[in-house]
Amino acid sequence: MAGDLAPAGERPAQGGPALGHSRYVVIRDRDGRRTAVTRHAVSAVCETDEGGSLLLLPGGRVVHLEESLDTVLGWLG
pLDDT of 71 higher than 70: yes
- Write out the residue range of the structural domain in which residue 36 sits: 5-76
Q: Which amino acid would we find at residue 62?
A: V
Q: For residue 11, what is the domain's CATH number?
A: 2.30.29
**In the structure, what pLDDT confidence band is assigned to residue 12 with cuts at 50, 70 and 90?**
very low
What's the angle, vertex CA 10, arms to CA 6 and CA 15, rounded to 5? 35
Cβ proximity of 4 and 30 under 8 Å:
no
Sheet holding 62-65, edge to edge: 44-47, 53-56, 62-65
Domain count, the chain: 1
* Mean pLDDT for the chain overall: 78
Q: Which amino acid would we find at residue 45?
A: V
Query: What is the pTM (predicted TM-score) of this model?
Result: 0.68
- The whole-angstrom separation of Cα 47 and Cα 72 is 10
